[in-house]
């Protein structure tokens, strides 16, 4: 692949390597607007398979319809040789597999949030007509206590003879359902089995079908019952239904989510569940620009798994906006990532929060420096009147310049008013302090304030 830090790939600037899996190497990157994304560059043996790339180009158009609070959305892709890549949302957090191995089983409210979040992710994925097929602890990222599912849909598009012979494995033992191990097609029911196995591992800290050679684990999946000892009572029956051997007997993602929403609050009523809406179903979204493979029969949505479980992990964003047409044999659409596109109801966007924070810092600066300058000028009023006036004049000049810039350049009247009020307030406070307090009292007060400020600076 040969990708190095600091290199550009299309419009993306690669920053660092995050890891590698069976189909590609993932890099932390910056998009043209300077926001972090994850770029998965396909391995050379995958890039050399024209059939696999054609299928992937077709599947990417479907994968991009998947949006939700608990999925790492596909934002962009390019199938042009020699280095095809896929861009996804970059999620900050730890893989569920690392959380369980490092911290032990997930319990209490955290387990409720994990179960509901994974179920919501599958509802969003299946609503777009996508099957993940490789849902497992390594493909679930926990960020702020909420799960985000990564790496959905890629394996199904790359399930070709040349790719699998070149080294990609067909899944993760213990998390692939019996029908896939026996060679049958993987439908949405396969994801429900993997969902149950993933939650069983999270709740118990054990792999539900044990460890050992892949053949031995696979045999247990087909012929034995999963190890669910230690799973909480509200969750155990749901996992048993999801991990039934016959895929026809498993519930759908929507049924599982409804069941969990009914059962989980009864056990953990204090868990807040802010419901964030998913994207509209695929039929209600604007059609994406089709790849050259449009018109062929749809590709199967099963495929080999990415054993590395590598995907977007780090500071994040959300899904994109309108598409722009690309040129080339494998034309794909590009959606710009706009974090403020679908904000959570009642929650300010990132830009609004940043503007509010800047306004708060500015007010604190004006008030704090005004108090300090007034106290210092009042202290020097009797013995050093020139210094007193110089301090007031300097402070007044600063706030007047800042207020002028805010009013005429930034059209920010609030900031200008704050600056004006700060300047007037400093003069009034200087006059009051100089009139009612002695120079010695003011000097002691000034020394105390300076001492406190220095202590705060040193401690921070």
- Joined tokens for residue 420: 């004006």
- Joined tokens for residue 41: 């560059």
Residue 248, number of CB atoms within 10 A of its CB: 8
Q: Which of 333, 274, 361, 315 is nearest to 74 (CA)?
A: 333
40 is in an annotated binding site: yes
Name the active-site residue from 31, 76, 110, 134: 134
Burial bucket for residue 29 (CB in 10 Å: 0-12, 13-18, 19+): buried
Q: By three-state DSSP, how is residue 229 classified?
A: coil
CA distance 121 to 278: 9
Measure the CA angle with vertex 318, ends 315 and 319; round to 5°.
140
Does 5 qualify as catalytic in the annotation?
no
Task: Show the beta-strand stretches assigned E in 255-390.
Answer: 320-325, 333-337
- Return the exposure string of 37-66: e unless at least 16 CB atoms fall within 10 Å of the residue's CB, then b: bbbbbbbeebbebeebbbbbbbbbbbbbbb
Q: Which residues contact 225 (CB under 8 A, 6 or more apart)?
A: none
**Residues annotated within a binding site for ATP:** 40
Annotated catalytic sites, by residue? Answer: 134
Residues annotated in a binding site: 40
């Amino acid at each position: 692949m040969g990708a190095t830090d600091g290199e550009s790939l299309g419009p993306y600037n690669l920053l660092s390597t995050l890891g590698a899996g069976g189909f590609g190497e993932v890099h932390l990157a910056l998009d043209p607007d300077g926001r972090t994304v994850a770029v998965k560059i396909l391995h050379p043996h995958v890039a050399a398979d024209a059939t696999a790339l054609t299928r992937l180009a077709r599947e990417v158009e479907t994968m991009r319809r998947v949006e939700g609070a608990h999925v790492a959305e596909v934002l962009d892709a390019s199938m042009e040789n020699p280095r095809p890549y896929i861009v996804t949302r970059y999620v900050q957090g730890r893989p569920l597999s690392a959380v369980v191995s490092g911290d032990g089983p997930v319990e209490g409210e955290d387990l409720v949030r994990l179960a509901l979040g994974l179920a919501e992710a599958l509802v969003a994925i299946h609503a777009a007509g996508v099957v993940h097929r490789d849902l497992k602890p390594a493909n679930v990222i926990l960020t702020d206590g909420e799960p985000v599912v990564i790496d959905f849909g890629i394996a199904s598009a790359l399930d070709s003879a040349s790719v699998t012979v070149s080294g990609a494995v067909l899944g993760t033992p213990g998390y692939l359902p019996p029908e896939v191990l026996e060679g049958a097609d993987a439908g949405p029911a396969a994801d429900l089995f993997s969902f149950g196995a993933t939650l069983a591992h999270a709740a118990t800290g054990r792999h539900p079908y044990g460890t050992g050679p892949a053949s031995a684990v696979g045999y247990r999946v087909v012929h034995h019952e999963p190890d669910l000892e230690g799973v909480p009572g509200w969750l155990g029956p749901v996992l048993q239904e999801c991990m039934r051997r016959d895929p026809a007997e498993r519930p759908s993602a929507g049924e599982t989510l409804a069941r969990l929403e009914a059962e989980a609050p009864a056990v953990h009523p204090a868990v807040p569940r802010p419901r964030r809406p998913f994207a509209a179903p695929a039929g209600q979204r604007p059609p994406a620009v089709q790849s050259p493979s449009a018109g062929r029969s749809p590709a199967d949505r099963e495929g080999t798994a990415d054993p590395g479980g590598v995907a977007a992990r780090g500071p994040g964003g959300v899904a994109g906006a309108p598409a722009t047409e690309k040129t080339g044999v494998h034309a794909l659409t590009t959606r710009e990532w706009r974090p403020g596109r679908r904000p959570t109801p009642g929650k300010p966007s990132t830009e609004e929060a940043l503007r509010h924070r800047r306004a708060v810092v500015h007010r604190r600066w004006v008030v704090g420096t005004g108090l300090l300058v007034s106290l210092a000028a009042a202290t020097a009023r009797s013995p050093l009147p020139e210094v007193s006036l110089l301090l007031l004049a300097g402070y007044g000049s600063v706030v007047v310049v800042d207020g002028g810039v805010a009013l005429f350049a930034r059209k920010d009247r609030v900031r200008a008013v704050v600056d004006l009020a700060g300047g007037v307030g400093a003069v009034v406070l200087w006059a009051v302090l100089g009139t009612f307090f002695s120079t010695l009292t003011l000097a002691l007060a000034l020394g105390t304030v300076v001492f406190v400020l220095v202590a705060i600076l040193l401690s921070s």
